[in-house]
Amino acid sequence: MRFITAATVLLASITSSTFATPVLQELVTRDANGLIDNLRSNNLSRLADALAQNPEVTNTIFQENSKKYFLAPTDDAMQKLPDWVTQNKTILQATLLQHVLNGQFDSNKFNTYPTHTIGHSLLKSNDFVKLPGGAGQAVSLARGPQGAFVAEAVNNDTMTSATGSYDQFTIQPISQAITVPGGLVATLRYLGYEELLNTISSVQDGALARQLDEMSGITVFAPTNRALREYADTDPNEQDLATVLGQHVIQSRVVYSPLLTDQGSMISSSGQDIIFDQASGRVTVNGRSAKIIQSDIICSTGVIHLIDTVLSSTNLDQGRALQAARSAQAGVSNSQAASVSGPVDGTNSITSQGNSVPVSQTSGYSTRNSTKNDDNAGQGQSGFGNNNNNNNNNNNNGNGKNAAVSINVSGSLAGLASATAIGLALLL
């Protein structure tokens, strides 16, 4: 039992992770030692050692007296951490913080893969995370036939044994440590989405790629390599390329899979409604539809959902795109972002469509003015497209041997590129 209650009131007014008085630091150190002892007595010694050697991390963990879900890498998992993590204190500390989620989670209630339950970690440093409102990085959790796991882009980190608890912490051992997500472009490259990268990079001599990479709070529907090759085979008009790419991006919104059903209105960077159908797990823009084949790939600035077809609509409405982005941006609240705790859902999320969203283009779909996404709130636990078995990403290809999509975009600066430029200018 902690007796830090009085101190917690004071702590609330301290914003940095360095503590104002030796007394407070002493209380935190005592709590940290309790946690470390608990881990050690539960066969999690290497994690305990890492925490003992990094008081910056325990200071952050104990900054707020609230429930936490600690994904605790086993000794084996800690031992397998690569050198580039263990030998750089900054990266090691970020990695440790990515394992501590805000709030309470129950692995028996995780969404069933391919959908996920999403939590936000205590990793907030701007060097590693650029989410709206200064929110902590997301972590994807799911259940499959083999039980519960942390779902990373290419790994499942299995939850190995029963949870333990210490004070406000639920401690869940995992078989493999979580990797701190990289930027959008780095993540796409790591996953082998060469066709998409080449296509984005071809716009404005790479300026679009740089803009996208820097945007804080982004949802990207990323077509597979095969989807982009099929699109290129249709001999599209190069003038439309930026607009088409823009249909795949939502600015200033981070729409994790539990929010796809609870999202309010989704409007693309080319200003078109993006309609999600829960039963089929498909997204549609002006009649161009794609199936989501892998959801919730986390990157430092937002989330990527892999889709099997290019959303090839060439309709562009920059005013609408801009209004949607501004509305979402204005709806971001630092205190809301910081208070997201437990599974993300319509009322417990860092972004929403905001209060001045454009009216829906599509009849029968409600678009609302609200800083919540709670129209048909599914408690962040509802799945989608579960009747389809083809959830594997067959198109990951990291070897870069596929021919690049060759679409000549010189002179084509329409759509996303200019909309994004305007958007960035206003939002920064």
Ligand X SMILES: *[C@@H]1O[C@H](CO)[C@@H](O)[C@H](O)[C@H]1NC(C)=O
Residue 62 or 384: the one with the smaller Cβ distance to ligand X is 384
Residue 92 or 260: the one with the smaller Cβ distance to ligand X is 92
Residue 21 or 53: the one with the smaller Cβ distance to ligand X is 53
Residues 6 or more apart from 334 whose CB is under 8 A from it? 133, 134
Work out how close the CB of 66 gets to ligand X at its nearest, in angstroms, rounded to a whole number. 28
Query: Counting contacts by CB under 6 A, is residue 408 touching ligand X?
Result: yes
Work out how close the CB of 222 gets to ligand X at its nearest, in angstroms, rounded to a whole number. 17
Phi, psi of 398 (to 5 degrees): -85, -5
Please select the residue that binds ligand X; options are 75, 167, 214, 230, rule is CB under 6 A.
75
Residue 327 or 348: the one with the smaller Cβ distance to ligand X is 327
Work out how close the CB of 267 gets to ligand X at its nearest, in angstroms, rounded to a whole number. 11
Residue 314: helix, strand or coil by DSSP?
A: coil
Compute the distance between CA of residue 289 and CA of residue 311 in angstroms, rounded to an integer: 6
Work out how close the CB of 20 gets to ligand X at its nearest, in angstroms, rounded to a whole number. 27
Residue 185, judged by CB atoms within 10 A of its CB (0-12, 13-18, 19+), counts as buried
Asked if 395 and 224 touch (Cβ cutoff 8 Å), the reply is yes
Query: Counting contacts by CB under 6 A, is residue 237 touching ligand X?
Result: no
Work out how close the CB of 7 gets to ligand X at its nearest, in angstroms, rounded to a whole number. 32
Residue nearest to ligand X (CB): 144
Residue 282 parent element (H or E): strand 282-285
Please select the residue that binds ligand X; options are 7, 11, 71, 91, rule is CB under 6 A.
91
Per-residue x/- marks for ligand X, 126-165, CB under 6 A? Answer: -x----------------xxx-------xxx---------
Query: Counting contacts by CB under 6 A, is residue 184 touching ligand X?
Result: no
Residue 178, judged by CB atoms within 10 A of its CB (0-12, 13-18, 19+), counts as buried
Residue 27 or 299: the one with the smaller Cβ distance to ligand X is 299
Please select the residue that binds ligand X; options are 26, 76, 106, 205, rule is CB under 6 A.
76
Work out how close the CB of 352 gets to ligand X at its nearest, in angstroms, rounded to a whole number. 13
Of residues 272-301, those binding ligand X (CB under 6 A)? none
| Full DSSP string of 7-21 | HHHHHTT--SSS-SS
Query: Counting contacts by CB under 6 A, is residue 101 touching ligand X?
Result: no
Residue with tokens 């892998």: 294
Of residues 32-61, those binding ligand X (CB under 6 A)? 43
Query: Counting contacts by CB under 6 A, is residue 428 touching ligand X?
Result: no
Compute the distance between CA of residue 392 and CA of residue 396 in angstroms, rounded to an integer: 10
Compute the distance between CA of residue 234 and CA of residue 407 in angstroms, rounded to an integer: 11
Residue 32 or 357: the one with the smaller Cβ distance to ligand X is 357
Residue 21 or 392: the one with the smaller Cβ distance to ligand X is 392
Please select the residue that binds ligand X; options are 21, 33, 66, 90, rule is CB under 6 A.
90
Buried b (16+ CB within 10 A) or exposed e, 45-80: ebbbebbbebeebbbbbbbbbebbbbbbbbeebbee
Window contacting ligand X (CB under 6 A); options: 14-22, 205-213, 291-299, 363-371: 363-371
According to DSSP, the residues that pair with 112 across neighbouring strands are 143
Window contacting ligand X (CB under 6 A); options: 181-189, 239-247, 256-264, 354-362: 354-362
Q: Between 194-201 and 184-191, two packed helices, what is the crossing angle to 10 degrees?
A: 140
Strands 147-151 and 156-158: antiparallel
Query: Counting contacts by CB under 6 A, is residue 357 touching ligand X?
Result: yes
Residue 201 or 391: the one with the smaller Cβ distance to ligand X is 391
Residues that bind ligand X (rule: CB under 6 A) add up to a total of 26
* Dihedral (Cα; 406, 226, 242, 364), 10-degree rounding: 160
Catalog residues that contact ligand X under the rule CB under 6 A.
43, 74-76, 88, 90-91, 113, 127, 144-146, 154-156, 356-357, 359, 367-369, 391-392, 408, 410-411
